[in-house]
Amino acid sequence: MTSVAERDRALLAAARAGDPGAVEELYRLHLSVARGIAHGLCRPDDVDDVVAEAFTRVLDQIQQGRGPRVSFRAYLITAVRSCAADLARRDARLIWTDDVEAELEPADRTPGDSLPDSPVRQESRLLAAAIDDLPARWQLVLWWTTVEQRSLREVGTRLGISANAAAALAFRAREGLRDAYFRLHVPATGDDACTACRAALVAAARSRDATPAHTAPHLSTCGPCRDVAAELGVIRTALTAVTATLG
């Protein structure tokens, strides 16, 4: 009897050689598994798109001489998870940025007109960039708990972990978002003293601590770092309200 590994190896070799029948057979054999994984990672309406994109990515790799040579299923599952994470990132950007821009859009604005680059629009872009900077797993957790309002028990079931582990993961995701958001507001500097001071300010803001006492001497003589400290204070207040909605 031919093993699954041997069967997939033969089909992959044929698909890599350009056999459309082998491609169709791989699709037929592994479709149900791909759909099952996708159902656990995204909304029902998105399952078909995620699965189709995952198969396309894997088959493109095969046709280019790369990709799996034995375990097609393992490679496909990874692709499904990646596609679901990409979809969550795109949807998160739409939720957190496009809605804000729609509220700012004048009723009489004609297509093609540019909107003023207001502080709210700037902050929405920074928030989207901070979300993009997070690991895909954290983005998924934020999406499920915030946008889809799923319980930690359900999130844990989807990820194959306990509700307590899901809660810990959600906490790390929120803290990661805070850290990324703060860092995006701190301009880079070539001065070592400024770099050290700003790193301490970000760490204090992220942990909700007061401005570190050891930064006082530097802040007393450095206007740019004082500006950073003031901005981080404002951002910390605003972000506390934002992240409160994420958990």
pLDDT of residue 89: 66
Nearest to 14 by CA among 1, 24, 3: 24
Q: What percent of the chain has pLDDT over 90?
A: 2
Same domain, 63 and 122: no
Do 69 and 130 share a domain, yes or no? Answer: no
The pLDDT tens digits for 34-50 are 888 887 777 788 888 88
- Average pLDDT, whole number, for the chain? 76
For residue 41, give the amino acid letter: L
Residue 134 falls inside a structural domain: yes
Question: Is residue 105 in a domain?
Answer: no
Residue 108's contacts (CB-CB under 8 Å, 6 or more residues apart) are: none
Q: Please report, for the domain that includes residue 133, its CATH number.
A: 1.20.140
User: Same domain, yes or no, for 14 and 132?
Assistant: no
The one-letter code for the residue type at 185 is: H
Q: Output the pLDDT for position 193.
A: 92
User: Is residue 228 a contact partner of residue 198, using CB atoms and an 8 Å limit?
Assistant: yes
Over 50: is that where the pLDDT of 182 sits? yes
| pLDDT over 50 (residue 181) | yes
Q: For residue 73, name the pLDDT band (cuts at 50, 70, 90).
A: confident
Largest CA distance in the chain: 79
Are residues 73 and 36 in contact, defined by beta-carbon separation less than 8 angstroms?
no
Q: How many domains does the chain have?
A: 2
* Structure tokens, 242: 């934002």
Model pLDDT for residues 6-31, shown as the tens digit of each residue: 888 888 888 888 888 888 888 888 88
The pTM score is 0.45
Q: Which domain holds residue 42?
A: 4-85
Q: Is residue 67 in some structural domain?
A: yes
Residues 36 and 144 in one domain: no
